[in-house]
Amino acid sequence: MRDEAVNRVKHVFTLFDADGNGVLEADDFDLMSDRVAAAVPEAGEARKQTMRAAFTRYWNTLVAELDADGDGRITYDEFQACVLSPERFSGAVDAFAAGFARLGDVDGSGTVARPVFTGMLRGVGFGLPNIQALFEALGPDDGDRITVRAWEEEIKNFYAPDRGGVPADLLAASPVA
Ligand SMILES: [Ca+2]
Ligand SMILES: [Ca+2]
């Protein structure tokens, strides 16, 4: 596995452990979707529901595939097995990427404005300099917006164990210059 992928996996585990108790549980995903929804007050209820459903589905897939000892919680040791067989998660990751990125398209234009992008990723727990670096890497247009499609693809890259040197690495880099 590539070093960049290992770094992303460690970072993602820390982020997903939203309440910081050292293990992933259903409550973490509820907490995260609450924070993300709160970051985009202007998003419609339908988009929020899709986003929440994507978080829930993602958790259900993780616990079904990774909870080796069946205690309903995922430790880091259990979690890192996800990178060994990414094909088992691709459906849930695709839904997660789509539900998340499309929440940011609050006006249905197919684009996401910088403040919305920043608010949502702050909601998940990423650092502001990392978020800004990723936004720049996704090529904002003259109106300071990126396409939902570009963001969605980058979310999938973030979870791909065989990728490296992708813009998504910027989210796990520290510090970002
Ligand atoms: Ca937790
Ligand atoms: Ca477990």
Q: Where are the domains of the chain?
A: 3-159
Span 1-14, mean pLDDT? 78
Q: Which residue has the higher pLDDT, 15 or 116?
A: 116
Q: What is the CA(4)–ligand 2 centre distance, in A?
A: 25
Would you call 42 helix, strand, or coil by DSSP?
coil
- Ligand 1 is a single-atom ion; what residues have CB below 5 A from it? 17, 19, 21, 28
Helix (H, G, I), strand (E, B), or coil: what is residue 103? helix
For residue 23, how far is its CA from the centre of ligand 1 (angstroms)? Answer: 5
Q: Residue 67 Cα, ligand 2 centroid: separation in angstroms?
A: 4
CATH fold label, 3-159: Recoverin; domain 1 (1.10.238)
- 176 has a pLDDT exceeding 50: no
Q: List pLDDT tens digits, range 99-126.
A: 889 999 999 999 999 999 999 998 888 8
What pLDDT is recorded for position 73? 97
Ligand 1 centroid, distance to 56 Cα (angstroms): 15
Averaged pLDDT, 73-77: 95
Give the global pTM: 0.80
For 29-67, how does the pLDDT look when each residue is reduced to its tens digit (9 = 90+)? 999 999 989 988 888 899 899 889 888 988 998 899 899
Helix (H) or strand (E) holding 31: helix 26-39
